[in-house]
Structure 1
Amino acid sequence: MKTLEGKSLMIRDFPKDETPRERLIADGPSSLSNQELLAILLRTGTKNESVLQLANRLIKHFDGLRMLKDATIEEITNIHGIGQVKALQIIASVELGRRMGRLQYDDRYVIRSPEDAAKYMMDEMRFLSQEHFVCLYLNTKNQVIHKQSIFIGSLNASIVHPREVFKEALRRSSASIICLHNHPSGDATPSREDIEVTKRLVECGKLLGIEILDHLIIGEQKFISLKEKGYV
């Protein structure tokens, strides 16, 4: 970002109504780029670099927002021009975004279809680097009353024990359960182990009178319902 004279263009050099802050006020946050939103968080650049240039370098360093959302304080402060205060502002903002994204589901979210269950968990599970096996415990109205991670790691029938799945269901007086787990590869195709675990849980649920409504495999912006595949 240079002027005709080759000097760095600083925020103060912009017309007042074209700065990220003024544009946010005038046009709303959706009108701003990721770079501009980060610039507002960072507030200032360095002696030789505008805050927009610093924000752009930050995004490039983390290859976009996907990696930045999981960055640690140490990783962010390793970038020249970003101290602990700026890093904490970024991390706090990311966490607030995560929490706000879940707010709509906290008030007894109702699951009526595999799509509802996938929507509830997709953003939380699709970027995980390990497999997470999660259970949603529902009441008689199909409202989510509890969510719990049962296991982290490669899925197989001997590790995902029905005892752990149904213990929480009994404690919460759940009427039914929806199981989900992610495939870090992004491919949601069910494996033989996925199918074996599902069948085992369904049979145990019949004995206890607690129905396994579905088992969803979460991939990259896609999912597969084992109920729709005929395994539940």
Structure 2
Amino acid sequence: MEISNYHLTMKKLPLDIRPRERLFRYGASGLSDSELLAILLGTGTKRETALQLGQRILSKFKNLRNLVSTSPEELAEINGIGKAKSSQIVAAVELGRRMNTISNEKGNFITNPKDVVDLFMAEMRYLDRECFKAALLNTKNKVLKIVEVSTGNLNSSIVHPREVYKFAIKCSAASVIVVHNHPSGDSSPSKEDVVTTQRLSEAGKLLGIELLDHVIIGDGEYTSLKEKNLV
């Protein structure tokens, strides 16, 4: 038998390295990114198992951040993916984001910037465009609601105080924390970020709705403008 005609399938792999079997034995958290991706893909190609295909995809995008922010059209162009597998990957990513939003939206108390990061990091660290959100709080710093204020282009988002505080007034919020991401992964504040923060803080004082903090989300890192005494 010629090696070139040999089609290795997942069923021909030893049990202890098959992703599905490993998931049942060790749990999802015990699997690598490529193993989880292989389970999503289900099947590979004529020359690759699903695991090998998953490894090739991750190698192409260098890291998980680049993969999850890729469009379904770009994924579908990869040899061995197509529209069906591309849809499965994108749907899984979106479900993860929505689950995070559902679990974090209400019933949380904000006591420090780390609490803010816990609410928003998983959802916002991989976004390829700046997204500006606001957490609306009551007098006890409990989250009443999280709202999306604006979504910008690759480098900036346009935020006006009225867009933030109209939501706060509608919810009878006592205070506000605003959050936005930097698609570059670097959470260092820009001059525009500082100016926006100062404008929001001044508007909040006039309305009697305090701006508690402005947190910038990067890739696994964050910057609190409150901690930098810029709020």
TM-score, normalised to structure 2's length? Answer: 0.83
**What residue in structure 1 maps to residue 192 of structure 2?**
193
The alpha-carbon deviation at position 155 of structure 1 amounts to 5.9
- For residues 140 and 65 of structure 1, what CA distance do their matches in structure 2 show? 39
**What residue in structure 2 maps to residue 29 of structure 1?**
28
How has the CA–CA distance of structure 1 residues 45 and 161 changed in structure 2, closer, same or farther, with 3 Å as cutoff? closer
Determine if the alignment matches structure 1 residue 51 to structure 2 residue 45: no
* Residues 179 and 216 in structure 1, CA contact (< 8 A), matched pair in contact too: yes
Q: What does residue range 116-135 of structure 1 map to in structure 2 within 5 Å?
A: 116-135=115-134
**What is the RMSD computed on CA atoms of the aligned residues?**
2.5
How has the CA–CA distance of structure 1 residues 9 and 175 changed in structure 2, closer, same or farther, with 3 Å as cutoff? same
**What residue in structure 1 maps to residue 142 of structure 2?**
143
- Stretches of 4+ moved more than 6 A in 1? none
**What residue in structure 2 maps to residue 91 of structure 1?**
90
3-state secondary structure, aligned to 2:166? helix
Residues matched between the structures, number:
226
* Residues 155 and 194 in structure 1, CA contact (< 8 A), matched pair in contact too: no
**What residue in structure 2 maps to residue 179 of structure 1?**
178
How has the CA–CA distance of structure 1 residues 35 and 111 changed in structure 2, closer, same or farther, with 3 Å as cutoff? same
Which one has a bigger Cα radius of gyration?
1
Moved more, 93-102 or 137-146: 93-102
- For residues 108 and 159 of structure 2, what CA distance do their matches in structure 1 show? 26
How has the CA–CA distance of structure 1 residues 155 and 61 changed in structure 2, closer, same or farther, with 3 Å as cutoff? closer
3-state secondary structure, aligned to 1:200? helix
Letter in 2 for 1:145: L
3-state secondary structure, aligned to 2:223? strand
Letter in 2 for 1:52: L
Q: What does residue range 97-108 of structure 1 map to in structure 2 within 5 Å?
A: 97-108=96-107
Q: Cα deviations across residues 130-175 of structure 1 (Å, max 9, x unaligned)?
A: 333322111122122222232344669xx53222221111111111
How has the CA–CA distance of structure 1 residues 48 and 155 changed in structure 2, closer, same or farther, with 3 Å as cutoff? closer
How has the CA–CA distance of structure 1 residues 47 and 221 changed in structure 2, closer, same or farther, with 3 Å as cutoff? closer
The alpha-carbon deviation at position 17 of structure 1 amounts to 4.6
Determine if the alignment matches structure 1 residue 213 to structure 2 residue 219: no
How has the CA–CA distance of structure 1 residues 78 and 200 changed in structure 2, closer, same or farther, with 3 Å as cutoff? closer
Q: Cα deviations across residues 2-39 of structure 1 (Å, max 9, x unaligned)?
A: xxx68554323223454222222222223322222222
Determine if the alignment matches structure 1 residue 160 to structure 2 residue 163: no
**What residue in structure 1 maps to residue 59 of structure 2?**
60
- For residues 156 and 78 of structure 2, what CA distance do their matches in structure 1 show? 38
Letter in 2 for 1:209: G
Letter in 1 for 2:110: I
Q: Cα deviations across residues 32-75 of structure 1 (Å, max 9, x unaligned)?
A: 22222222222222223222222222222332322221233322
Moved more, 24-33 or 187-196: 187-196
3-state secondary structure, aligned to 2:178? strand
Q: Which runs of 5+ in 2 are unaligned?
A: none
Q: What does residue range 221-232 of structure 1 map to in structure 2 within 5 Å?
A: 221-232=220-231
- For residues 71 and 79 of structure 2, what CA distance do their matches in structure 1 show? 15
**What residue in structure 2 maps to residue 204 of structure 1?**
203
Determine if the alignment matches structure 1 residue 114 to structure 2 residue 108: no
- For residues 17 and 125 of structure 2, what CA distance do their matches in structure 1 show? 36
* Residues 40 and 89 in structure 2, CA contact (< 8 A), matched pair in contact too: yes
Moved more, 188-197 or 36-45: 188-197
Q: Which runs of 5+ in 1 are unaligned?
A: none
- For residues 211 and 185 of structure 1, what CA distance do their matches in structure 2 show? 29
